[in-house]
Copies of this chain bind each other. A is one copy, B any other.
Amino acid sequence: MSDQINTVANISLWLVEDNRHFQQTMFSLINESDGFECAFAFDSCEEALEKLKNAAPPEVILLDIGLKGMNGIEGVKKFKEITPATHIIMLTIQDDSNTVFEALCAGASGYLLKDSSPERVIESVKEVIAGGVSMNAHIAKKIVDMFKQLNPPKGNYRLTEREKEILSFLVTGLSKKQIADKLFISFHTVNTHIKNIYEKLHVNTRAGVISKAFKEKLV
């Protein structure tokens, strides 16, 4: 508790990038920015991971997506295993949405085009530290599209409330008898409801109902 006289601690960043020229540029850019400090710059994930064994993890890692050796995607996973609280921003030359998308799924918090303006770099870092995910409109669209695709408008088979209820029990794997007991109705009634569900969904086996229910998000 001696010499905390100047300011609050800087945000610490690490840089993993094999292009020495770009590495230098980025390194300087960060260290010249108020409140940020680029502690280390590495040429490969392997080196950075090695360093993590005996150094405090940074708050943010800027990680080239196209590294030799362990590539960025694998890198994200490894880093996140070791220090899950560290935010990782991918660096890419081009707007390759597939790769970026994979990186996000692997745990990255955003990505930056390498030719981004210094302001944009700093803005991204701030965004991820605030808990956000930093991406551009193009990637955002990819993700929203994919999301919509995974959430197709659910088909309407005009199931009644009771039928939906029973469908949900079928999906959990209950037998007719178990459903009857659960709803305090007769086995025969459940039988009838199931017959009606089968007819409405155009299926004729348990397996058919359940697949259809999952595929079309009926449950």
0/1 string, A72-107, CB within 8 A of B gives 1: 000000000000000000000000000000001100
Residue A144, interface by CB 8 Å:
yes
Asked if A170 and B134 make an inter-chain contact with CB atoms under 8 angstroms apart, the answer reads: no
| 8 Å CB contact of A173 from B151, B174, B175, B205 | B205
Cβ distance A219 to chain B, nearest Cβ, rounded Å: 9
**CA A173 to CA B148, docked complex, whole Å:** 26
Residue A5, interface by CB 8 Å:
no
Known: A148-B105, A173-B208, A207-B170. Contact between A132 and B128, CB under 8 A? Answer: no
**CA A120 to CA B126, docked complex, whole Å:** 17
> Which residues does chain B contribute within 8 Å of A68, judged by CB atoms?
none
> Which residues does chain B contribute within 8 Å of A135, judged by CB atoms?
137, 140
Cβ distance A37 to chain B, nearest Cβ, rounded Å: 22
Asked if A137 and B130 make an inter-chain contact with CB atoms under 8 angstroms apart, the answer reads: yes
> Which residues does chain B contribute within 8 Å of A214, judged by CB atoms?
210-211, 214
Q: Name A's B-contacting residues (CB within 8 A).
A: 104-105, 109-110, 127-128, 130-138, 140-141, 143-144, 146-148, 150-151, 170-175, 203, 205-208, 210-211, 214
